[in-house]
Amino acid sequence: MNQFSYTTAHEPDCVLITLTGPLDIRFADEFKPRAVDLADTGLDLVFDLTALTGIDSSGLTVFIAAYKRASQHGRRVRLVAVPPFVARIMTVTSLDQLIEVTHR
């Protein structure tokens, strides 16, 4: 899959954001403002990575920006159904110390 897409669902205590395809330099700059806007809802953000096929440093900046904005509201960001390739990146970069990661 060469295209990135996402869906959102507003749950009582969080916004669930399901990512599909690669979150890389081709798509991250467009998606980042939307992720930050979702952090302004005052709810936790939960990114479901079940269908994520790739990520690069641009994609990681999306999670960092969402984390920073959510933290300003006293909320948190979680990554769920994290594939092994993302889990490794999160560990190597120590981002798993800021953002909760739940492995597949």
How would you write the pLDDT of the chain (104 residues) with one tens digit per residue? 589 999 999 999 999 999 999 999 999 999 999 999 999 999 999 999 999 999 999 999 999 999 999 999 999 999 999 999 999 999 999 999 999 999 86
Tokens linked to 86: 């993302």
* CATH class of the structural domain 5-103: alpha beta
Asked whether the beta carbons of 80 and 49 are under 8 A apart, the reply is yes
- pTM above 0.85? yes
One-character DSSP codes across the chain: ----EEEEEE-SSEEEEEEEEEESTTTHHHHHHHHHHHHTTSSEEEEEEEEEEEE-HHHHHHHHHHHHHHHHTT--EEEEEE-HHHHHHHHHTTGGGTSEEEE-
Which amino acid does the sequence have at 63? F
Dihedral (CA of 6, 49, 37, 14) sign? positive
User: What's the pLDDT at 27?
Assistant: 97
Domain range summary for the chain, segments of one domain joined by +: 5-103
User: What's the pLDDT at 2?
Assistant: 82
